[in-house]
Structure 1
C-alpha cells in the first residue's frame, strides 16, 4: 500500500488545482470487472488523480440495476479478488486512494463468502444492549481493515416510518427516532474503535416514502418542524457526537429547500444552509451514487450533474460516471475558495483514515476475517420477538402435538432439525415462513398461490408461526388468526436454532418489533 498522504499543508502547496478537483471524485470499482474495465479505471486514477473508489460487486448488481435486470455472476473468490484489486489500484495511484464500500451488515453486502451480520431492523429489535451493536460495528470494521477498506458508507439513520418503503425498510433500525439514534451511535462507535470511517445516510431522511431513489425522485412532503423533530433528529444527534461524514440522498424535500423540488443532493439550500449552517456539520459531505435515476436521467450533459452536486456542497462525488467532464466543468465554474474548502475536508479525512500501521499488508496467504458465529448467536437471542401470543400458548401447543409446515427456505432447515414432535396433530400447525427475498417487491418473493395457501392454513388451523425474514412480510398474511407469531428476522443458522429453543421453552423472547405491522 502507498504511504500515508502527505500533510494537508504540503498538499495544499504541491497539488495543482486540477488534481485537487480530482481528489473529490469517487468512481465505482467492481469486483467482477474485465481486464479492459480494470485498466480504464487505472487510467482514471493515474491521469485524473481521483481521490478514492467505492467498491461494488458487479456492474449488473450496482445502483440502478440493483433490482436484477441483468444476471449477476457470483464469484466465490470475491474477497481475494477485492484485496488484490485494492492493492492494484493503490499501486498506480500518485496519492493514496480512500477506499470505500457499503458494508451495512458486513462485507457480505457486496462480497460473497464473507461474514454477514443481521440487518439493521434486526438490531433495532434488541433492547437495552447497545454493546452488541457496538461489537457488530467493530467486527465489520476489522473486516474492512483486513480488506484494505477505510470508509464504510453506513449506517443508515433513516427513520423507516413508511411500511411500503421499497429500499430502506430492513436497512433502518426502525420507526422510532430514539431507537435509531441509540443503535446508530453504538454502530458508529464500534467502527471508530478500529479506525474505520463512517457515513450516516441518507440525509435528510429517506424513510417516509414509497419511492425508490435508484429509479425515481422521492417526495418527502412534510413541514420543516415535522422534519426537524423526526427525520433530521438522528442526523443532528450523531453530528453532535462527531461523525466523519454525511451522505446526502436524492430526495425532493420542499420544506427544506424554500419550497423548491430540487433533489437534496444538488440543493445548496439543503446542504449549505440546513446541513452546514443550521445543523453545524463541518465534516465531509458525500453524495449518494450520482448514477441513480432520481437525478442522472435529468442531466444528460456529461459533467453537468457532477458540477451541480459539487456546487451544492458535496465534497465527495460518489459513483460519478463522467469524471473527465466533471473535473473540467468544476474547474471552469467553481471559485478557488470552493475547491480549496472541499479539498481540505477530503484530504484531512484521508490523513485521518490512511495509516500504514492500521491496515495489514495482503500477502499470498489469506488474511483472517472475523468469525461471526458467536456474536450472531447473541444477536439472535436478544432480538427474537414474540409478536403475538404468549409462552403459555406455545407451551400448550407443543404439549398437544403439532404438524410441521414450511414455506420458502431449504427443506433441511435448522429450525425443524432442532424441533421434533412424536405426536402429529393435523389441526395444530407449526408454520415456518422463509420469505424468498428481503425486499418488498413482488410480495417479498411469495407467489399469489403461496400467499393464498398460507392464509388458508391460518384461517382453518391452529397455527404458531415463526418468521425468518423481513417482518413487513407479515402484512400479506392473516396473522390475526394465528395463536402465536414469533419473529426471528434472519434465516441464519444461529437465528433458526435460537427460534427452535424458544419454541421448546428453553429461552425467552427478549426483542421488541422496531416497526409497526398493520
Structure 2
C-alpha cells in the first residue's frame, strides 16, 4: 500500500474512526488505468469514489502532491492518450443528467479516448460551471477548457457581462476600452473554469462583402487592428488566461464563409505582409500565447495552392513559426467547418494539421475516427510519435502553468461575485455608449426633441423571424418620449401585421428604422426585396432615420435618411445604450473604423454632447450602490412610522438618474403600490418649478426687472408703503404681505381671491422683515399672465415643460387624461371644504379655487420630470440643446440674496445650522420643500439633485410631522454614497 494511504489510515486512527478506515481501504481498490494515467491515479483518487469531507480536508492539509514533471508525465502516456490530448470537443454548458445521451457521449470521449479539453458553446453560468466540475472529475488528466468570447463571456454564456463587438470598441477611439474588455472577459472566463479564450479577432476587415468577419474585426486598418488587438490580449492575459489571435494569416479580405466553403485569397506575400500579417506580428512580439489558423487557401504564397491554411505547412510552419518566430500554441479553427470537412476525412484533416504545425485540434467532425486514423498513421510511419509529443508537451505545460494538476475544479460559491458584477456591467455600458457612431445628422434631427416629433414609430427590420427584435430599444425610448410605437418587420410577417406597420407609419411624424440585417453567407449586406418594398411604401413626407444594429454597411441602402447611426450589434446592451443618445441623454462621439464604399470614409463621425438626463445606475454616476441603498431603509422605516404611506426618491448625479425607486403604497390601506413614475402634488414646489423660472425667463428677456414696482402691474399697490414693493421683495418674501389668508371661507373664485390679495394690508414695512408668503407668489403668477398674455400654466408648458419633454408636469392633471391622473396618489381626505378625498386636483384650497392654477401651488410632477428641470439649472440653463435660462440669472437666483435668512430669489437654500437638505450637502445647495411632503435639493458642487415626493398629508395634514428629518437623512445617505 502506498505511503500516502498509510498516512490517511494514521489520521483515521487518531480520529478513532474504524468505519472510515474500512471505507477508505475498500475505496482504494482503483480500477487499473492504462499508461501514465495509472501512475497519475496515485495522486488523484478515482472520480467514482467520494472521500468523506473530513478525510478530504485531512488529505488536502497533510498530503502535498509531487510537482508534476511534464516530460516524465509525457513519457508515461500511451500513444492513444497522447493523441487524445490533442483533441478539443464540443460541449453545451447547460444542465445535463448523467444518463442523457449527450453527456454519456462526452464522458466516453473523456474517459475512453482521453481528449485534452472542451470547447464550450452555449450555456448558462451555473450549468457550465457544474458540468465543468463533473467533467474534470471523470477525466484522468485535467481538461483544458476553451471558449469563444469575442464580445465577452456573453458570446456563449447567458447571464455574463456582454461587451460591444470589436469594431464597436475601436469606434470609441480609446484602446484602454479594449484592455478593459479583455480583462472583464478573462475575469469571467476564469470564474467559469475557462483557461483559453478564442479572441481577439485580428483579421483586417477590408472587404465589405466579408460574410463572416464584419464587426468581429476591430477595423479595416491594420495598425488599428494591431493596437486594439494588443490591448484586448493584454487584458485577457493580465488574468493568466490565454488569449488566441485569429484567424491566421487573415480572414478579413474574403467574400466566402469558410463554415460552408473554402475561401481563396489570391494576394501575394508582399500584400499579406503589408496588411493581414501586421496585427499578428504585433501580437507575437507582445507575447500572445496562442494563434488560431484560418481555413483559407493562399495559392500565390503557398506550395500547396488548393490547401486550406490550417493544413498548409507553407502557412503555419514557414510563415507563422519560421518567419514570425511564434512559439506558442497553434489551434485549428473548427475542423467540422466545410472549408475542411468537405475535402478531407476527419483523420486526414488532423494528420495534415499536425504536419502543418497545429497543436490543438478543435471540433473534429468525428473525434473517434480521427483518433484512430492518427494512431494508425503513427504506426505506419506517416506521422512520428515525436511530432505528437511536441504538441502534447505544449498542452501539458499550459495545464501545469494553470495549476490544473493541483486544482482543476471551480469554486461555485464565487460565481455570483465574479460574474456580471456592477463594475463590469458599468464598464460594458460605458464602452457601448462611447461606441455609437453618428455619420449623418441632417437638419439637426438628433437629439430628438419630443415637442418637435411628438409621435415616433420605431420599425425594426430583421432578416430572421424574431418578433421581439428591437423591443429593448423601444422600452428605453419610452423613458424619454411618451409616444413611441414599435413594430417589427420579420421574415414570417403576416399581411395583417404588414398593414399595421403602414398605418403606424401614417400615424407617426418620425420613423426610425432599426436595421437588424446582417451580412449573409453569400456576402450580401443589403436589404432584400421585401424589406425594400416595405421601406419604399413608408410615407415620403415623414422624416426617417436609420440605426444599424449589426452590419454597418447597410446604411448605404438608405442614403436619403436624415440620420445614420451605427450601433454595431443588436444585443440588449447596445439597444439600451442607444436610446439615451437619440434624445441627447448621452454623448455621441464614435468614429468609423472602416470605409463604407460610396458613403463614408474611415474615421468619419459627428459629435453630439449629452444635453439631457440619462436613466442609469449608481455606478455610472460614481455613486456607491451599497451606501445609496441606505435610502431604502430610511424610506421603509418612515413608512412603518406613518410619516407617509409611500413615496418616490430620485437621485441625479452628473446628469444621470442614478437612483429612482418607489416605496410603499398610495394609501395606508396598501392596495396600490407606489411606482417610481407616479406623479405628486408639488404644493409649494410650484413656487420654484413654475413661478420662479417664469420670472427668471422674463427677466432674462428684459420684459421684467427685479426692481420693477408691483404697483406698475396692480394699481391697488400704488398707495402707502405698498408702492415701495418690488418684484425682488416678492421673491425674497420681504414684501410685508402676510404668510397667507384663508379667503376660501367666503371667496371661491380666481378673480375674488386675487382681488382680495391686491387689497391685503401689509403686516411689515417692505424690505425689512422676512415673512414666507404665498400671497406674493400668487401675485407673481398673475404678473406672468399680464406680461405674456398667457396664464401661468400655459406659459410654462409652452416655454419649458413641453420642449423639455416634461410630460408628467401639469396644473389640473385630471384635465390632461387618465394616463396622467391615474398615476397620482390621493393627497388628503378633506373634511372641511370639499368633503372628499383629494386626488389629481390641487390640495391647496386657494389654488383649487383659482381654477387649479396659482403661483404658489397647484403644480403636479414626477421625479423624472423634476430631474430634467433641476438638471437644466445645473447645466447653466441649457437642456436638450436649447438655452432656457442664462447662467447669470440662475446664479443670481440661487445664491444668497437675503440679509435676514439664507434664501435666494424664490429658491430656498440650505440652512447653516440644520436643514432638510442634510448636514453633508455643500453650502451652495438650493431647492425648496412642499407642504404635501415634496422637496428637491440641488447641490452644484456635487452636480447632484435629491428629489423626494410623498403624500405625507394623507389621510390628514396632521400626519407626517417627521418629514424634515427623513429628507435630511436621505440627503446624507446620498452624499455618503458619492465616490471620490
TM-score grouping bracket, smaller chain normalisation:
0.7 to 0.9
Note if contact 1:402-1:425 (Cα within 8 Å) is conserved in structure 2: no
Matched, 1:361 2:411: yes
Note if contact 1:471-1:489 (Cα within 8 Å) is conserved in structure 2: yes
Alpha-carbon distance in structure 1 between the residues aligned to 2:180 and 2:226: 16
1:52-63 mapped onto 2 (5 Å cutoff):
52-57=117-122
Alpha-carbon distance in structure 2 between the residues aligned to 1:359 and 1:178: 40
Q: 1:296 to 1:491 in 2, by over 3 A?
A: closer
Q: Which residue number in structure 1 is paired with residue 196 of structure 2?
A: 151
1:264-303 mapped onto 2 (5 Å cutoff):
264-300=309-345, 302-303=346-347
TM-score using structure 1 length: 0.86
Alpha-carbon distance in structure 1 between the residues aligned to 2:218 and 2:375: 40
Alpha-carbon distance in structure 2 between the residues aligned to 1:227 and 1:142: 34
Note if contact 2:132-2:409 (Cα within 8 Å) is conserved in structure 1: no
Note if contact 1:175-1:514 (Cα within 8 Å) is conserved in structure 2: yes
Matched, 1:45 2:107: no
- Residue 360 of structure 1: CA displacement? 4.2
Matched, 1:510 2:589: yes
Q: Which residue number in structure 1 is paired with residue 514 of structure 2?
A: 434
SS of 1:262's equivalent? coil
Alpha-carbon distance in structure 2 between the residues aligned to 1:431 and 1:241: 48
Matched, 1:256 2:301: yes
Structure 2 counterpart of 1:123, from 169, 178, 187: 169
- Residue 283 of structure 1: CA displacement? 0.8
SS of 2:330's equivalent? strand
Q: Which residue number in structure 2 is paired with residue 65 of structure 1?
A: none
Q: Which residue number in structure 1 is paired with residue 426 of structure 2?
A: 374
Q: Which residue number in structure 2 is paired with residue 316 of structure 1?
A: 360
Q: Which residue number in structure 1 is paired with residue 529 of structure 2?
A: 448
Q: 1:263 to 1:406 in 2, by over 3 A?
A: same
Q: Which residue number in structure 1 is paired with residue 874 of structure 2?
A: none
Q: 1:329 to 1:229 in 2, by over 3 A?
A: farther
Note if contact 2:505-2:539 (Cα within 8 Å) is conserved in structure 1: no
Q: Deviations over 1:425-460 (max 9, x none)?
A: 989954433334544469779663333332455965
Q: Which residue number in structure 2 is paired with residue 406 of structure 1?
A: 458
Q: Which residue number in structure 2 is paired with residue 201 of structure 1?
A: 246
Alpha-carbon distance in structure 1 between the residues aligned to 2:305 and 2:562: 50
- Residue 466 of structure 1: CA displacement? 3.3
- Residue 311 of structure 1: CA displacement? 1.4
SS of 1:308's equivalent? helix
Q: Deviations over 1:133-162 (max 9, x none)?
A: 211111111111121111111111111111
1:460-475 mapped onto 2 (5 Å cutoff):
460-475=541-556
Structure 2 counterpart of 1:490, from 569, 578, 581: 569
Alpha-carbon distance in structure 2 between the residues aligned to 1:411 and 1:103: 25
Alpha-carbon distance in structure 2 between the residues aligned to 1:428 and 1:86: 52
Alpha-carbon distance in structure 2 between the residues aligned to 1:410 and 1:426: 20
Q: Deviations over 1:246-285 (max 9, x none)?
A: 1111101112213612111111111111111011111111
- Residue 366 of structure 1: CA displacement? 5.5
Q: Which residue number in structure 1 is paired with residue 372 of structure 2?
A: 325
Alpha-carbon distance in structure 1 between the residues aligned to 2:275 and 2:66: 40
Alpha-carbon distance in structure 2 between the residues aligned to 1:505 and 1:348: 53
Structure 2 counterpart of 1:136, from 181, 192, 212: 181
Higher relative contact order (CA 8 A, sep 6+): 1
- After TM superposition, the structure 1 stretch with the greater mean CA deviation from structure 2, 502-511 or 452-461, is 452-461
Note if contact 1:200-1:245 (Cα within 8 Å) is conserved in structure 2: yes
Alpha-carbon distance in structure 1 between the residues aligned to 2:509 and 2:269: 49
Matched, 1:17 2:79: yes
Alpha-carbon distance in structure 2 between the residues aligned to 1:216 and 1:4: 49
Q: Which residue number in structure 2 is paired with residue 105 of structure 1?
A: 151
- After TM superposition, the structure 1 stretch with the greater mean CA deviation from structure 2, 332-341 or 239-248, is 332-341
Alpha-carbon distance in structure 2 between the residues aligned to 1:315 and 1:440: 31
Note if contact 1:418-1:497 (Cα within 8 Å) is conserved in structure 2: no
> Structure 1: where are the runs of 5+ without partners?
58-76
Q: 1:243 to 1:502 in 2, by over 3 A?
A: same
Q: Which residue number in structure 1 is paired with residue 259 of structure 2?
A: 214
Structure 1 counterpart of 2:477, from 416, 419, 423: 416
Alpha-carbon distance in structure 2 between the residues aligned to 1:470 and 1:208: 16
Note if contact 1:438-1:470 (Cα within 8 Å) is conserved in structure 2: yes
Root-mean-square deviation (CA, aligned residues, Å) is: 3.2
Q: 1:500 to 1:125 in 2, by over 3 A?
A: same
Q: Deviations over 1:193-234 (max 9, x none)?
A: 111111111111111111110110001111111111101111
- After TM superposition, the structure 1 stretch with the greater mean CA deviation from structure 2, 490-499 or 136-145, is 490-499
Matched, 1:334 2:415: no
Q: Deviations over 1:17-65 (max 9, x none)?
A: 33222211112223367722322222222222221121123xxxxxxxx
Q: Which residue number in structure 2 is paired with residue 26 of structure 1?
A: 88
Q: Deviations over 1:332-354 (max 9, x none)?
A: 32223322222222222222234
- Residue 499 of structure 1: CA displacement? 3.5
Give the greater-gyration-radius structure (CA). 2
SS of 1:188's equivalent? helix
Alpha-carbon distance in structure 2 between the residues aligned to 1:292 and 1:395: 45
SS of 2:291's equivalent? strand
Alpha-carbon distance in structure 2 between the residues aligned to 1:133 and 1:144: 16
SS of 1:27's equivalent? strand
Structure 2 counterpart of 1:7, from 30, 52, 69: 69
- Residue 190 of structure 1: CA displacement? 0.9
Q: 1:396 to 1:94 in 2, by over 3 A?
A: closer
- Residue 516 of structure 1: CA displacement? 2.0
- After TM superposition, the structure 1 stretch with the greater mean CA deviation from structure 2, 43-52 or 436-445, is 436-445
1:221-240 mapped onto 2 (5 Å cutoff):
221-240=266-285
SS of 1:55's equivalent? strand
Note if contact 2:439-2:564 (Cα within 8 Å) is conserved in structure 1: yes
Alpha-carbon distance in structure 1 between the residues aligned to 2:78 and 2:448: 75
Alpha-carbon distance in structure 1 between the residues aligned to 2:258 and 2:66: 36
Alpha-carbon distance in structure 2 between the residues aligned to 1:290 and 1:461: 51
Structure 1 counterpart of 2:558, from 465, 473, 478: 478
Alpha-carbon distance in structure 2 between the residues aligned to 1:492 and 1:183: 22
Alpha-carbon distance in structure 2 between the residues aligned to 1:262 and 1:286: 17
Alpha-carbon distance in structure 2 between the residues aligned to 1:467 and 1:394: 16
- Residue 397 of structure 1: CA displacement? 7.4
Matched, 1:349 2:366: no
